[in-house]
Each structure stands twice: as C-alpha cells, then as structure tokens.
Amino acid sequence: MTGVDETVAHAAIKALIRTIPDYPKPGILFRDVTTLLSDGPGFRAAIDALVEPHRGARIAKIAAIEARGFIVGGAMADRLGAGFVPLRKRGKLPHTVVGVDYELEYGVDRVEVHADAIEAGDRILVVDDLIATGGTALAAIALIEQLGGVVCGVAAIIDLPDLGGSDRIRALGHEVHALCAFAGD
Ligand code: AMP
C-alpha cells in the first residue's frame, strides 16, 4: 500500500484502533486512537514505528496538530530529541499568531501557531493522528512555510487513502508516513 508502512507490528497497532460509526455526525466512521494510546506496549510500538523513518533526519521541531496530534507528537519529539510546536485551534495561543483556515472531513476550522515558534530554516516534521482529506496537514505545512520552516514530511498513525489527503500532500513534494490505512472514509 503506497506510503503506508504496513508490517505485522503495524497490523497489531491497527487492531488497537477502535472504529465508532456515526461520530461526530451520521456517515462518519471515527477512527478512535484512544484505545491504542491506553495500551502501553501498543502506544510504545506506535511511537517507535513513527520515529523510525526520521532518525538521523536532523528534525529540529515537531509541529503537531491539536489535540490528538499533541499526544503522538510530544512522545515523538522526546524520542527524537526535537522541540515541540503546538498547532492550535483559533484563539488558544496567548502570543502573536499566524493562522490558516482549512476544511475538515466534517467542517471548517482554523489552525494557528505562535509566530516566533519556528525560525527560518528549521527542519520541521508535521504530526497528527490521522490524515483524511489532508486539509489540516496542508494548512500546517502552509503555516510552517510562511514562517520559513522547512517541512521534512508528515507523520500520522492512520491514513484514509480513499479521501486523497496523503496523495495531495505527496503531490506538493512532501513525504507521508502512516502506520496503517483504513479503506473508505
Ligand atoms: P483532514 O484535515 O480531512 O485530513 O482531517 C484530519 C483531522 O481530522 C485529524 O486531526 C483527525 O484527528 C480528524 N479526523 C478526520 N477524519 C477523521 C476520522 N474519520 N476519524 C478520526 N479523526 C478524524
């Protein structure tokens, strides 16, 4: 499966992800990673696998997307010895921000970052729990690039390849690494 690093270990990680039908609205299959996060060996295996492609890549900072991305991105930053930059919803950050509006699979939102969190030339890895349409990750990439950061790829636990997000990100020349994929939406 293109861009999804599926191995036996990854199949075990995938098996720990719960699917909730019709959340947060009818027709959405919500891929709930809280069941993976609450499993110690599973969480560790997921972080091990997520950092693997980026060892030696001189990542300066992980920029992770609120809220589940913080959990995954924080653990990855610690493992890689990188800094952590929170990308937050509108109005949550206390200092001067730059922001970008984007479309979700189920709504419209805005992502913001502190204007001084990223310096020109910083090598940044974007992290979230899941890539659906790619709107969130593309907004994150746009924000980082506005600040002069160099995006070194996007990492996520889950890809929903049928929604085209990971292909959209790759079309801009960025690597996408996901641990598992779910067909459909
Ligand atoms: P997108 O911007 O369409 O790629 O959507 C990705 C963001 O929305 C991530 O932050 C996910 O946490 C969340 N998301 C979108 N679709 C789902 C889904 N089916 N299950 C769980 N989270 C989702």
* Dihedral sign computed on CA atoms, order 111, 117, 119, 121: negative
Residue-level length of the chain: 185
Question: Could you report the per-residue pLDDT of 142-182, keeping only the tens digit for each?
Answer: 999 999 999 999 999 999 999 999 999 999 999 999 999 99
CB atoms within 10 A of CB 17: 22
The pTM score is 0.95
State the DSSP H helix or E strand holding residue 167, giving kind and residue range, or none if neither: helix 165-171
Percentage of the chain exceeding pLDDT 90: 89
136 lines ligand 1 (CB under 6 A): yes
What is the domain count for the chain?
1
CATH number at residue 133: 3.40.50.2020
Mutate to test the pocket of ligand 1, among 17, 22, 34, 136 (most ligand atoms within 8 A of CB): 136
pLDDT at residue 66 is higher than 60: yes
* Dihedral sign computed on CA atoms, order 170, 176, 180, 184: negative
User: How far does residue 59's CA lie from ligand 1's centre (Å)?
Assistant: 24
User: 3-state class of 134 per DSSP?
Assistant: coil
Q: Which alpha helices (H) appear in 4-100, and where do they start and end?
A: 8-15, 34-37, 40-51, 68-80
Residue the block writes with tokens 């310096």: 119
What is the extent of the structural domain holding 100? 3-181
pLDDT at residue 49 is higher than 70: yes
User: How far does residue 30's CA lie from ligand 1's centre (Å)?
Assistant: 8
Ligand 1 atom showing the smallest separation from residue 31 Cα: 20
Question: Could you report the per-residue pLDDT of 5-24, keeping only the tens digit for each?
Answer: 667 689 999 999 999 999 99
7, 76, 93 from 161: Cα distances, Å: 17, 23, 31
Which residues are known to be catalytic?
Answer: 68, 105
Q: Of 9-13, 44-48, 118-122, 137-141, which range is least confident? A: 9-13
Ligand 1 atom showing the smallest separation from residue 33 Cα: 21
User: How far does residue 75's CA lie from ligand 1's centre (Å)?
Assistant: 20
